[in-house]
Amino acid sequence: MEIPSMFDQISRKYDIANRVLSLGLDTLWRKKALKEAFKHLPAKKIDMLDIACGTGDMLTTAKEIFKDRLNLGVGLDPSLKMVERAKSKCRNLNFHLVLGTAENLPFKENSFDLITVAFGVRNFKNRQKGLKEIYRTLKEGGILTILEFSPPSNGNFLEKLSWFYTKRIVPLLGGVITGNKEAYSYLSNSIERFPTSENLSKELKHIGFQVLVVKKLFPPITVLYVGRKN
């Protein structure tokens, strides 16, 4: 199944599934990611792009944290139904929500101070091309913030426990909530194929980013990355 079609199918129950499956932690992860980005942004109005924006949670959280410093908020997602739900949820906020993919961003070079991707890099069809497009559209000195799940690396108890939950429990619960077990089986399978935090950091550096932060959150398969366009 194509990824946009899969997300179309779960869009109606996507938010409640996120809250339940993450035990409410997904809202805290987004806040931590944006607060970390805030530390590295210049003290001026911010133009922001959120890639794989889903229903718009990263943008609404940015509005809460950045307040009047958020000058422009743009969300992009390849799923039409996700974009429609984001437009509905954000109808009273001055955000621009567009259909598109990371590999072909419809924006000029040096357009954004901040680009965020929350749990979407795994879904890039071509990760290298997507990351290069992000680099192209960031302003000089601009910040990239990624939240992503990574496969267990050191095998400690907490990693093993969180991986068991992701691999065995999430597909079952996700299937019950959304009626689409396949989508949540894809989640754990895509994490398994994803680079470790060390290897993704190397990829970012190879493209040209200065990697400022690589931080494991709770549970430790959740990783926050912050990079700067040199």
165 Cβ partners below 8 Å, 6+ apart? 219
- Both tokens assigned to 161: 């426990």
The pLDDT assigned to 1 comes to 62
Q: Which residues of 12-47 are buried (b: 16+ CB within 10 A; e: fewer)?
A: eebbebbebbbeebbeebbebbbebbbebbeeeebb
Closest CA to 94 of 117, 70, 78: 70
Q: Where in the chain are the domains? A: 3-229
CA distance 170 to 183: 10
The pLDDT assigned to 153 comes to 78
CA distance 22 to 4: 22
Distance separating the N- and C-terminal Cα atoms of the chain: 38
Mean pLDDT per block of 10 residues along the chain (230 residues) reads 90 96 96 97 96 98 95 98 96 94 98 98 97 98 97 84 93 95 91 94 98 96 96
- The amino acid that residue 229 corresponds to is K
Query: Per residue in 165-202, pLDDT tens?
Result: 999 999 999 999 999 999 999 988 999 999 999 999 99
Superfamily (CATH) of domain 3-229 = Vaccinia Virus protein VP39 (3.40.50.150)
